[in-house]
Amino acid sequence: MTTIDTTPTTVPDFGDTNETDRKICFILSKGTLDMAYPGLIMANGALGEGIEVHLFFTFWGMDMINLKTMDHLKFTILGNPATHMPQGLGGLPGMTAMATHQMKKQIADLDVPEVPEFLQLLVDSGAHLWACKMSVDMMHLDEADLLDEVEGIINVANFMEISEGAQMVFV
């Protein structure tokens, strides 16, 4: 073992002494692949920076934590001019399946996991998952229908308490 020279030098600031307790809450309201991923990727980045992260799933965002739908999120050309495809094509049989397959492949090529595995990754990194009570009621769901890692079914008032002092991102 060599002697350790502890002469001061430039050391990166990893924010360990930072007392600001930065916190970000993501409200995820969409369940298509192209709307699910942006929030998940940003949440993952925030967790990697040591930031406290809460994800609140509401409306179609529930599809990400609903055990029946989480493995079957789709992507469609219909109503999405950003695909630069003729909108009429999107209505043809099989087009949504094809577009979904293509997008999943592109995401997998980047070694980004599918949504259920991604949620597990976020939870392992310390994220907190919450389900929206009104959406749960509206869709006639209960806790058993949701991913185990969801910490609770909460109303907006509960979420406002959790998100106090946080930065908010709505997707």
Partner 1 sequence: MTTATIAGKEVTIDDEGFMTEYDEWTEALGQALAIQIGIDMTDAHWKAVRFLREDFAEQGVTPTLRRVSTIGGIPTKELFALFPKKPAKKMAYISGLPKPVGCV
Which spans of this chain sit near partner 1 (rule: CB under 8 A)? Answer: 1-7, 9-16, 41, 44-45, 48-50, 110-113, 121, 124-126
Q: To the nearest whole angstrom, how small is the minimum distance from the Cβ of residue 71 to partner 1? A: 19
Q: To the nearest whole angstrom, how small is the minimum distance from the Cβ of residue 30 to partner 1? A: 19
Nearer to partner 1, 1 or 144 (CB): 1
Nearer to partner 1, 5 or 142 (CB): 5
Q: To the nearest whole angstrom, how small is the minimum distance from the Cβ of residue 12 to partner 1? A: 4
| Rounded CA separation 75/80 (Å) | 10
Q: By three-state DSSP, how is residue 41 classified? A: helix
Q: To the nearest whole angstrom, how small is the minimum distance from the Cβ of residue 81 to partner 1? A: 25
Nearer to partner 1, 44 or 76 (CB): 44
Nearer to partner 1, 8 or 86 (CB): 8
CB-count burial class (<10 Å; 0-12, 13-18, 19+) for 25: buried
Which residues, 6+ apart, have CB-to-CB distance to 41 below 8 Å?
Answer: 112
